Amino acid sequence: MKKIVVMSGKGGVGKSTVAANIAFALTMKGYKVGLLDSDLHGPSIPKILGLEDLKGLEVSEGKLKPAEVDGLKVVSIQFLLPSKDSPVVWRGPMKHKFLEQIFKDVDWGDLDYLIIDCPPGTGDEIISIFQLANPDAAVIVTTPQSVAIEDVRKAINFAKKAVGKIYLIENMSGLICPHCGKRIDVFGVGGGKKLAEEMGVKFLGEIPLDPEIMKSCENGKPFVKFDFDSAKVFRDIVDTLVKEV
């Protein structure tokens, strides 16, 4: 099984969107895939996959059974909280214990890939994930502007200490104006590619800022299964990832 973490130095750049859609795209290709939401304070995976009303996970022979969407196995702390709006108020050691438990007690079955969605930054949860999962690769998500790039550089340096294969994706990379068809570089352009070259990591591609992507997330449907252009761009990115990892 290959374990791939999806992370970034920055919040809100689309990590969870990318993680859920990589996992779903791999499932569509026929692989056996698990998706672990390791964002304990802001778990977004259930919403993105339309599992937000799911409460509790089945237990069989003392092991937790992941939830499933179209064959993709999913575990999020959200499924184990008393309600959708319950916060997790834990210090570092509690978070580590929880993640340790998840790695011990979830019966993923036989997987080809485990995709792990991380919270922003390089804090407690990420350190635990790298210790517990010993990932094969890290996919780092950035947006084009330097405010994001500066933090993402830190995340790359963090990942370099722990994992051999590091990939960068630029998300929210330009918007095609629905009125005139011209591209608007809302957050600038090319920052991701330049950063990848500078840091010696492989650049996987640019995902445009696309209202269709946002809408799919809102509706709990992975956008990668649709036919619009940015979904095609994303499928190409996943093809490259499969060849690499």
CB of 44 to Mg ion, least distance (A): 5
Asked if 94 and 100 touch (Cβ cutoff 8 Å), the reply is no
CB of 115 to Mg ion, least distance (A): 13
The contact set with ligand ATP (CB under 6 A) reads 8, 11-17, 39, 42, 44, 119-120, 171-172, 207, 209-210, 213-214, 217
CB of 49 to Mg ion, least distance (A): 13
Asked if 95 and 127 touch (Cβ cutoff 8 Å), the reply is no
Q: Which does 217 bind (CB under 5 to 8 A by kind): ligand ATP, Mg ion, none?
A: ligand ATP
- Which of residues 44 and 171 has its CB atom nearest to Mg ion in the complex? 44
- Which of residues 120 and 135 has its CB atom nearest to ligand ATP in the complex? 120
21 binds Mg ion (CB under 5 A): no
15 binds Mg ion (CB under 5 A): yes
Site for Mg ion in 116-135 (CB under 5 A): none
* Contacting residue, 21, 27, 44, 142, with Mg ion by CB under 5 A: 44
* Contacting residue, 16, 76, 142, 173, with Mg ion by CB under 5 A: 16
- Which of residues 44 and 128 has its CB atom nearest to ligand ATP in the complex? 44
Q: Which does 99 bind (CB under 5 to 8 A by kind): ligand ATP, Mg ion, none?
A: none
CB of 12 to Mg ion, least distance (A): 8
CB of 136 to ligand ATP, least distance (A): 21
